Amino acid sequence: MCSQRVTRTLERIMDWRGKPCSIRVDNGPEFTSHHFDLWCKKQGITIQYTQPGKPTQNGYIERFNRSYRREILDAHLFFNLSDVRDLTDEWIQEYNNHRPHEGLGNRTPIEAARKISKKEAEEVLK
């Protein structure tokens, strides 16, 4: 994913959830690009980079990636990108809206997002 797509996605998320104070990311090229750095500075968002080789510092997304790979990418044979996108869209809806997550107190991500307090959000970022 290129940095321009990342920032477009973040803009949509900010329209929905508001602007974060900081974003924790790995050291992928989409996050270390000049475009991403400049965009974050203009938004007043601090970038928190995880240490290379330390995926546990970004455990939520690593868990998401593992589930997505196991349940979608490794479980299906795709013949075109459109099929991947369609199945991914369905899976994300299920993942966020209907599937309880143990790490969220057996709530769905959407339920947790609606109930999370500022203090809880800050704890997640530590």
pLDDT at 122: 59
- How does pLDDT run across 81-93, given as a tens digit for each residue? 999 999 999 999 9
State the pLDDT confidence band at 59, using cuts at 50, 70 and 90.
confident
- Cβ proximity of 35 and 7 under 8 Å: yes
What radius of gyration, in Å, describes the C-alpha atoms of the chain? 16
pLDDT at 121 over 80: no
**Which residues, 6 or more positions from 2, have their beta carbon under 8 angstroms from its beta carbon?**
30
pLDDT at 125 over 60: no
pLDDT at 119 over 60: no
pLDDT more than 70, % of the chain: 91
Say whether 19 sits in a helix, a strand or coil.
coil
